[in-house]
Chain A
Amino acid sequence: MKLLTANFLSCAVKACKSSPLSFPLHFKDAELASKSVPYNPVLLSNLLPRLDWPALVTSSKELGFALPDSKPDVARISTPSAASSPSDGDDTAMSMGATDEDEKTLRMLHKVLMETEVVEGKMVCGSCGFEYGIHQTVANFLLPSHLGTLSYHDRLRDTGLRYFAEDSRTCEFKI
């Protein structure tokens, strides 16, 4: 599981969808590895506005490394063909309109998001506490059938009939 993926994953349990605690999922007992991936600045600058930076800082803290508190600002790089026409010269990232500073940030982001992988470990939902296992970099998001669908009592709670549900439960005891 790459950190990039983790930044887009939230708890799969339906009752957690409305809870803000269900994102991000918290890493536990994580084992890290690094895998080299071709550097793609266009994709990174494309993804940057979509990243949830506070969530990324939290998960990187859990994995034991630090990131700056605020989201780095990088000018959006358009496609090489479109951007390279005004600037004459080589086909490096510089010609795509990225400055030195941007290049450095993007390299850092590439290392964190694309090349850092969680090989073994768990991800825990902050709302329901469900643990998603990660085994050989593949996270298991299959839910047991009772969590996959809304339970009877969840549905009642959703429609604001919780008291009715509790009443009916106590009634059962009386009988």
Chain B
Amino acid sequence: MSRPEDNLPPDLYYNDTESRKYTTSSRVQSIQATMTNRALELLDLTTSSFILDIGCGSGLSGEILSEAEPPHTWIGVDISPSMLAVALDREVDGDLLLGDMGQGLPFRAGSFDAAISISAIQWLCNEDEKGVDPKTRLSRFFDSLYACLKRDGKAVCQFYPRDDKQRDMICSAAIKAGFGAGLLEDDPETKNKKLYLVLTVGGEGNKDITGVVQGMDGVDVFDNRKKLMEKAKKDAKKGTKAWIMKKKEQERKKGKIVKADSKYTGRKRGIKF
């Protein structure tokens, strides 16, 4: 299936006919509903909260936020006027803004309890005009998102990356902005694979990103950080034989005279009588 991202920029792709088609399709509706519910589950909100919906479109995801238990109040941002017009016709509860997330979100610091985004942030990787750099747009988006969430806040972005490169580009932009980031993959290895980028803003409740999925059924945690940390630990352990050999090798490469390696290298001297 062709990706809409490859055809046109989002504000042109979602024109009046396309927006209506998208909103009335029962298939899209049910997929959006399951993804929004999954995102809400990940956000784990206990009280009525103030939520930002990025790429709200016609308010399919917003409707679920308003009907959730407890009900949430939301603000939606989207770049397509036609989509917002459909949302107005459907009389959604949230407030709507026409805006481009790649230009940064126009909110003051610490405004929102949480943010969700359903099938939107992959659009940031498009290079529609000359002089538009996806990396700048991504970093501006994540920087402003980080700023407008309150401490202890969380964001869940479901997205469809074109390939692994695009996925890594989005993730690293989020991490650079200061988020604690994790990727949740639903139905892996199938056609219906869904990727959720879970972002946390530092605070008491958000010490570790793996805490988000704790207690959820059927989630395996692959912690890349642990492997990296272990490797770093192994390398950095000063005084071990491996460390000494590495240093000797380094010095040798610099052309310095280094004592030959033997079975005694790195051993402690015996106690003198």
**Is there an interface contact between A46 and B98, defined as CB atoms closer than 8 Å?**
no
**Is there an interface contact between B84 and A42, defined as CB atoms closer than 8 Å?**
no
- Kindly state whether residue B33 has any CB partner on chain A within 8 Å: no
- Kindly state whether residue B194 has any CB partner on chain A within 8 Å: no
Binds B, one of A56-64, A135-143, A155-163: A135-143
Are A79 and B84 CB-contacts (below 8 A) given A8-B111, A139-B98?
A: no
- Kindly state whether residue B88 has any CB partner on chain A within 8 Å: yes
**Is there an interface contact between B150 and A5, defined as CB atoms closer than 8 Å?**
no
Hey, which chain B residues are within 8 Å of A140, CB to CB?
98-99
- Kindly state whether residue B25 has any CB partner on chain A within 8 Å: no
**Is there an interface contact between B97 and A46, defined as CB atoms closer than 8 Å?**
no
**Is there an interface contact between B110 and A43, defined as CB atoms closer than 8 Å?**
no
Are A23 and B47 CB-contacts (below 8 A) given A5-B95, A141-B98?
A: no
Q: What separation, in Å, do the CA atoms of A8 and B75 have in the docked complex?
A: 11
- Chain A residues with a Cβ closer than 8 Å to the other chain, count: 34
**Is there an interface contact between B88 and A14, defined as CB atoms closer than 8 Å?**
no
Within 8 A of B (CB), among A3-43: 4-5, 8-12, 14, 23, 37-38, 40, 42-43
- Chain B residues with a Cβ closer than 8 Å to the other chain, count: 35
- Kindly state whether residue A66 has any CB partner on chain B within 8 Å: no
- Kindly state whether residue B205 has any CB partner on chain A within 8 Å: no
- Kindly state whether residue B108 has any CB partner on chain A within 8 Å: yes
Within 8 A of A (CB), among B101-116: 102-104, 106-108, 110-113
- Kindly state whether residue A148 has any CB partner on chain B within 8 Å: yes
Within 8 Å by CB of A42, from B47, B77, B95, B129, lies B47
**Is there an interface contact between B88 and A138, defined as CB atoms closer than 8 Å?**
yes
Q: What separation, in Å, do the CA atoms of A68 and B100 have in the docked complex?
A: 36
**Is there an interface contact between B103 and A50, defined as CB atoms closer than 8 Å?**
no
Q: What separation, in Å, do the CA atoms of A42 and B88 have in the docked complex?
A: 26
- Kindly state whether residue B243 has any CB partner on chain A within 8 Å: no
**Is there an interface contact between A9 and B106, defined as CB atoms closer than 8 Å?**
yes
Q: Which residue of A lies closest to B72 (CB)?
A: A43
**Is there an interface contact between A42 and B99, defined as CB atoms closer than 8 Å?**
no
B12: min CB distance to chain A, Å: 13
A156: min CB distance to chain B, Å: 18
Name 17 interchain pairs, CB-CB below 8 A, sorted by A.
A1-B95, A1-B97, A8-B108, A8-B148, A10-B106, A23-B108, A40-B71, A40-B73, A43-B47, A46-B113, A137-B88, A137-B95, A139-B97, A142-B79, A142-B98, A142-B103, A148-B100
What are the 10 tightest A-B residue pairs by CB atom distance, in nearest-first order? Answer: A141-B99, A12-B106, A43-B48, A8-B111, A148-B103, A5-B95, A140-B98, A42-B48, A138-B96, A10-B108
What is B's interface to A at a CB cutoff of 8 Å? 46-50, 70-73, 75, 77, 79, 84, 88, 93, 95-100, 102-104, 106-108, 110-113, 129, 136, 148, 150
